[in-house]
Amino acid sequence: MNLGYTDWLWPLAIVFTLGLVLALWTLLWRDRRDLKILGHQNLVLSPGLAWSRRMLKGFLVLGGFLLMLLGALRLQGKPVPEDVILRGSDVVVVLDVSKSMLTQDLVPNRLEAAKKAVDDWMHRQTGNRVGMVVFSGEALVQVPLTFDVEADSMVLQGDDTDAVDRGGTDIGEGIRTALSVFPKDNPDKRGRVILLMTDGELTDGASNLNQACADAKTNGVPIVTVGMGTPQGKPIPDGTSFWGEPTFKKDASGNVHVSQLDEKTLQQIASSTGGVYVSGDSNEDLGSIDSALQNIQKTEMKGQGTVRHEELAPSLGWMAAGTLLFSALL
């Protein structure tokens, strides 16, 4: 059960409660006392029966007004999903959650800027099914393809560098995992695309990226790459020292490692799969994700629209009218 209007809930509830208290005082004490006195004076033949009739009549009136109150507040029943025809594509977002995404050459850092850009895009677009994959040294499917933007958004907001156990940056594994999200059969020839959000910095032990791109091209899935960060880069934060000063990750030689955006790798991924490279070296440039996805083939598909609740107000109105009419005839 749900109430469509809640602004007047408490005022109406207080008024009804006061009316209920007054009615109970009248029926249970004053009317009973008066009928008893009239019975002793032989002015009422059956005080008990008359009192019972007044009780029934009073409760019918109260019940009628209660039904009217619930109708005025738009009492709603079970949720009823509404199917709608949506025109769009299938998009799998592949988000890099490696430690290098904590670099603060974007505000507040690469990972948070990427999450905000994806979330803004998801809430602007309509008709697309969106899936979520996160990766660092391995990849994980977080959300399968769905029209439910809020489910994607909720999962996205919780993503951090601890979302995947193995560290590193294996873009090839992220792409292969994203390809597994798409259905094997595509009879409607629905457009498919991977939206890859990463700084492009590969680490040792990463799988064959060229083969992953070839698999994407064979399956007709272009990759839109969004470069997170700047070519100049910055050191990767690594906590704070004993004195509260920020510390940074170091390489094998003990030098502070500066994480830089690898635009060349991301441009190669996009061009080899028929996709587009989007520069993400500023928060403003990230807004161009929409235009990069505009040319993806769109088809119609039935999806779940808004979920409405069954309106009970009309039925409550008829019930209230019937109850009050019956009380008047009683």
Whether 170 and 189 map to the same domain: the answer is: yes
pLDDT in tens, 41-86: 555 556 666 667 777 777 777 787 788 888 887 777 777 666 667 7
The verdict on residue 85 lying in a domain is no
pLDDT in tens, 214-268: 999 999 999 999 999 999 999 999 888 778 788 888 887 889 999 999 999 999 9
Q: Show the domain range for 10.
A: 2-79+310-329
Whether 73 and 164 map to the same domain: the answer is: no
Instruction: Provide the number of structural domains found in the chain.
Output: 2
pLDDT in tens, 97-121: 999 999 999 999 999 999 999 999 9
Whether 21 and 70 map to the same domain: the answer is: yes
The verdict on residue 84 lying in a domain is no
Whether 208 and 135 map to the same domain: the answer is: yes
Whether 9 and 60 map to the same domain: the answer is: yes
What CATH number did the domain enclosing 224 receive? 3.40.50.410
The verdict on residue 186 lying in a domain is yes
Whether 45 and 105 map to the same domain: the answer is: no
Whether 267 and 315 map to the same domain: the answer is: no
- Using alpha carbons only, what angle is made at residue 99 by residues 97 and 102, rounded to the nearest 5 degrees? 85
Whether 74 and 97 map to the same domain: the answer is: no
Model pTM above 0.85: no
The verdict on residue 302 lying in a domain is no
Q: Give the pLDDT of residue 28.
A: 62
Whether 171 and 208 map to the same domain: the answer is: yes
